[in-house]
Amino acid sequence: MPKLEIKRKSELSRKEVSERLIALGHALASGSEVELGSEGDSIEIVVANRVRWEFEIEVDGDETEIEIEISWRDDPSGDTKVEETQTKASTPPPAKTARRGRPRKNPAT
SS3 percent helix, strand, coil of the chain, rounded to 5, is 20, 30, 50
> Environment class of residue 52 by beta-carbon count within 10 Å: exposed (0-12), middle (13-18) or buried (19+)?
middle
The model's pTM is 0.61
The average confidence (pLDDT) of the chain is 78
* Element holding 23 (H helix, E strand): helix 14-30
- Residue 46: which pLDDT band, with cuts at 50, 70 and 90? very high
pLDDT, tens only, 55-101: 999 999 999 999 999 999 987 665 545 444 344 444 555 554 544 55
